[in-house]
Amino acid sequence: MSEAEKPGIPDDLPEAVVDEWGRRFPVVWLLPLIALLIGGWLVVKAIVEKGPEVVIQFQTAEGIEEGKTLVKYRDVIVGKVKTVRFAEDLTHVLVTAEMVPGMERHLIESTRFWVVRPRVDSGEISGLGTLISGAYVAMDPGKEGDETQEFVGLETPPVIKSNERGTVYHLRAEKASSLSVGAPVYYRQIAVGQVTGYRLAKDHAFVDVDVFIEAPHDYYVRKGSRFWNVGGVDVSIDPEGVRVELESFASLISGGIAFETPLSLSNGEQAPEDTVFRLYPNYARTREKPVSRGYRYRVDLSGDVRGLQVSAPVELMGVRVGTVMEIDPYLDLKGKQARRTIFVELEAEKMLRTEARDGLKGDQLEKAVESRVEDLLARGLRARLETTNLLTGQKIIDLDLMADVKPVKLTSLDGYPVLPAAPGELEQLGEALTQTLAKLEKLPLDRMVRNADQMMVSLDKLAQAAGKALPSLLENTHEALDATDEAMRGVDALVSEEGALGTEFYAAVRELQLAARAVRLMAEYLERHPESLLKGKENAP
């Protein structure tokens, strides 16, 4: 290709200026690089941000929608339901939810899930917001446990959220008696906690009730606190009349529990979590039963123990200090009298003053109780079987200080200290009667009767003899009386005024009268003229 062959091209065409910059760096290739970076970052982010998946078991999937229903904690979205499917045996549904990243460490065994739906309970109405927004799965992160991916959802919202501070205690009751989950726990009639659950104990012997006492009120739960049931209305009849007690209206419907800490315990320490308490059926019963371990003593009773029951009170001068724990069915024939051993427990709290047992523990406390019992024994302490109710024949063990017994030392038998026994009051009475009768029985009645008979016979004879002698006797008597009469008349005549004796008597009396007057005159004169004693009587004027 030569210049000449190119027609029509003007020769004076300018030439383009060479771009000194030359071929520039292909900046445009940064774009796919950036896109790649962004894309890669998004992918990495998606992978990293993909939260953990959990599978939650529910009875029904009511209100749960795949890909829509959210998992919330404190109303913040922490996950979303991805799929809902059946368990293999169709007994429940498995809800798979994807949680937000970072939730892994909260997905532990104690974490709980439940579905929030509109709900009307005896105590409250909840979940109204879900009427519009639809149900959601609520999460309550647990505190401890291993990480897990599988959960069993709760069918009802938990009463206590894990973020609430407080302490869990367990109560043992004889029966559930209208308690329900969520029932309030009262302390001085202020609701301070709730029942979080109840179930039959393993051996079905009692009901385990879990209660949650909110902080700071849990501080008032002490080892010696007493819990009792306040559900429903408590109607009791006592000497003051009929008493109706109702803790609160709510407890009438859902049941409730109250507790009380004796003032003597109020400066102790809070009972540790999971402490087991006894749940008394009513307030009155909390007063009857021992609140702490008592110290065991044995009482060997000789009499009939009918009417004495385990858990019967042991009273010291009329105040309950312990409980009958065991009645040994074995009748001991070794001694003089057949005896039966009763085991009783004396409570340190009742036997000792608060100051005396403060700071004592275990053995020390036992020693303190023993020394107290020794003191009492020195004053003549005896255990007696007493009938408290003549109608039902209920009996108690009464510890009494008796004046007429000699003091004894505390001994122990088969490892238990012995409280010496004395016959009961009724028994004593019976014994006295028996003794009297026995003495009576010993009297020689036969002989006595025979003697009496003989005596009667001789008396009879005597009477007969007397009967025969009576007429002459009467006559003699008559004569004697006449003689006496005459003698009396003689005396009378003698004494009369006209009688010799009378005249003499009167003359003497007159003399005496005159003498008395003379003396009086002299006395008067002397009073007026005491000097006459020395000078003699002056001549009368």
- Residue 330 binds another protein (CB under 8 A): no
Give whichever of 27 and 237 is closer to another protein, judged by the CB atom. 27
- Residue 7 binds another protein (CB under 8 A): no
Beta-bridged to residue 194, according to DSSP, are 184, 212
Give whichever of 132 and 440 is closer to another protein, judged by the CB atom. 132
Give whichever of 6 and 409 is closer to another protein, judged by the CB atom. 6
User: Which span sits near another protein by CB under 8 A: 11-19, 250-258, 327-335, 466-474?
Assistant: 11-19
CB of 111 to another protein, least distance (A): 24
Beta-bridged to residue 250, according to DSSP, are none
User: Which span sits near another protein by CB under 8 A: 52-60, 129-137, 337-345, 446-454?
Assistant: 129-137
Burial bucket for residue 178 (CB in 10 Å: 0-12, 13-18, 19+):
middle
Q: Which of 91, 133, 267, 458 touches another protein by CB under 8 A? A: 133
- Residue 118 binds another protein (CB under 8 A): no
Give whichever of 77 and 519 is closer to another protein, judged by the CB atom. 77
- d(Cα 201, Cα 210) in Å, to the nearest integer? 12
Give the relative orientation of helices 500-528 and 445-495 as an angle to the nearest 10 degrees. 80
Residues contacting another protein: total by CB under 8 A = 25
- d(Cα 496, Cα 422) in Å, to the nearest integer? 81
Give whichever of 42 and 515 is closer to another protein, judged by the CB atom. 42
CB of 22 to another protein, least distance (A): 8
Q: How many CB atoms lie within 10 A of CB 59?
A: 11
CB of 147 to another protein, least distance (A): 28
- Residue 44 binds another protein (CB under 8 A): no
Give whichever of 123 and 127 is closer to another protein, judged by the CB atom. 127
Residues 210, 278, 188: CA angle, nearest 5 degrees: 80
- d(Cα 27, Cα 30) in Å, to the nearest integer? 6
- Residue 13 binds another protein (CB under 8 A): yes
Chain centroid to CA 445: how far?
60
- d(Cα 198, Cα 176) in Å, to the nearest integer? 8
- d(Cα 303, Cα 338) in Å, to the nearest integer? 8
CB of 31 to another protein, least distance (A): 4
CB of 97 to another protein, least distance (A): 14
The answer to whether 348 touches 365, Cβ cutoff 8 Å, is yes
Find the largest Cα–Cα distance for the chain: 232
Residue with tokens 């002989």: 447
- d(Cα 313, Cα 303) in Å, to the nearest integer? 18
Q: How many CB atoms lie within 10 A of CB 163?
A: 10
- Amino acid identity of residue 502, one-letter, is G
CB of 17 to another protein, least distance (A): 4
Give whichever of 17 and 263 is closer to another protein, judged by the CB atom. 17
Binding mask 22-41 for another protein (x = CB under 8 A): ----x-xx-xx-xxx-xx--
Q: Which of 42, 215, 233, 448 touches another protein by CB under 8 A? A: 42
User: Which span sits near another protein by CB under 8 A: 126-134, 390-398, 438-446, 504-512?
Assistant: 126-134
Q: How many CA atoms lie within 13 A of 40 on its CB side?
A: 6
Tell me the residue ranges of DSSP E strands in 215-267.
226-229, 234-238, 241-245, 257-260
The answer to whether 286 touches 260, Cβ cutoff 8 Å, is yes
CB of 26 to another protein, least distance (A): 6
Q: Where are the alpha helices (DSSP H) in 175-326?
A: 249-254, 283-288
- d(Cα 229, Cα 195) in Å, to the nearest integer? 11
CB of 65 to another protein, least distance (A): 9
Give whichever of 18 and 391 is closer to another protein, judged by the CB atom. 18
Go through the chain and tell me how many residues it has.
541
- Residue 127 binds another protein (CB under 8 A): no
Binding mask 47-86 for another protein (x = CB under 8 A): --------------------xx------------------
Q: Which of 2, 4, 15, 204 touches another protein by CB under 8 A? A: 15
CB of 67 to another protein, least distance (A): 7
CB of 16 to another protein, least distance (A): 3
Radius of gyration of the chain (CA): 56
Backbone angles phi, psi at 325, to 5 degrees: -100, -35
Q: Where are the alpha helices (DSSP H) in 204-335?
A: 249-254, 283-288
Give whichever of 41 and 505 is closer to another protein, judged by the CB atom. 41
CB of 81 to another protein, least distance (A): 11
CB of 75 to another protein, least distance (A): 12
Residues at the site binding another protein, with contacts judged by CB under 8 A = 6, 9, 13-19, 26, 28-29, 31-32, 34-36, 38-39, 42, 67-68, 132-134
